[in-house]
Amino acid sequence: MKLFNFGSLNIDHVYDVTHQVQTGETITATSYDVFIGGKGLNQSIAASKAGAQVVHIGAIGPDGSLLKEALVNAGVDVSQLIETDTPSGHAIIQVNEQGDNAIIVYGGANQQLSKTAIDQVFHLITPEDIVLLQNEISNVDYIIERAYERKIPVVLNYSPITESLSLIDLNKVSYLLVNEIEGRAAAKDSQVIEVLTRAYPQLSVVLTLGDKGAKFAKAGREVITQKAYEAVVVDTTGAGDTFTGFFVASVLSNKSIKEALDLSCKASAIAIGKSGASNSVPTLEEVLDK
């Protein structure tokens, strides 16, 4: 049982700022750093650290060797990573004094993952595996169609929100991971859990609620609630990805939903105590000790 994560890889340019820049304003950053990120890469590293066997599928450019290296160092299989002439994806991230971020993502090589390349990977995937997706690469809707045809469960992290998400048929998704804003976009309503579970009876919905924890809901089942763990907030970047990686790894190893939510909330509480994205993902030992 493996996790096949079709996901982005980004070079994150991170600026610490007193407040996030407003229209017409120029501000000075108090510090600058470059980190390894991308929702896809962060989630692969988190799932691998949580104990899953992870294959990362994505595309990098000539400047992407550090991205590949970070995956390799975390034990992720990079044999399906494609190297293109297009520069790797990058993100411009402002982190304010409260640790909250504002992110601009430029897709770059992440948008070069072709249907042909995707088809080749599907020869390796079985219905016992899981396909994980976010919304920072090309052909997300196509990958979902291919997985559905082959009866392979899909976990979709509905992030970031773009118009292309409207191409996705949530009837073909097994798990949907959303924060409150993404949940409202998916449900087109503020009653996220009620609307999604009614419209999609096959769908397991995981709603993350920041410092209020998380909820799991599926049609015909009682909603499971998980509290958040206390944390010193340094930088929230990558906390959601840490949650997703630990959650999917827990599902793959047949942990109960309650246990999966608990581990994922603990892991993300540790992640927000450090700067950066993939480098703030804790080890399983750190999470179990919390």
Footprint of ligand RIB on this chain (CB under 6 A)?
A: 8, 10, 12, 37-39, 42, 91, 103, 105, 136, 237-238, 240-241, 277
89 versus 153: smaller Cβ distance to ligand RIB: 89
157 versus 204: smaller Cβ distance to ligand RIB: 157
| Residue number of the CB atom closest to ligand RIB | 37
90 versus 266: smaller Cβ distance to ligand RIB: 90
118 versus 239: smaller Cβ distance to ligand RIB: 239
User: Distances in Å between the alpha carbon of 135 and those of 8, 213, 244?
Assistant: 8, 23, 14
CB of 164 to ligand RIB, least distance (A): 15
Q: What's the DSSP call for residue 30?
A: S
CB of 236 to ligand RIB, least distance (A): 9
- Rounded to whole angstroms, how far apart are CA atoms 52 and 1? 9
CB of 160 to ligand RIB, least distance (A): 7
Q: Which helix (H) or strand (E) holds 178?
A: strand 175-179
CB of 46 to ligand RIB, least distance (A): 11
Taken as a whole, the chain contains a residue count of 290
Three-state SS annotation for 100-147: CEEEEEECHHHHHCCHHHHHHHHCCCCCCCEEEECCCCCCHHHHHHHH
**What are residue 91's phi and psi, to 5 degrees?**
-135, 145
- Rounded to whole angstroms, how far apart are CA atoms 267 and 226? 13
12 versus 77: smaller Cβ distance to ligand RIB: 12
Q: Considering just the CA atoms, what is the radius of gyration of the chain in Å? A: 18
CB of 37 to ligand RIB, least distance (A): 2
82 versus 103: smaller Cβ distance to ligand RIB: 103
CB of 70 to ligand RIB, least distance (A): 11
Tracing tokens 């970031």 back to the chain, one arrives at 160
- Rounded to whole angstroms, how far apart are CA atoms 281 and 252? 19
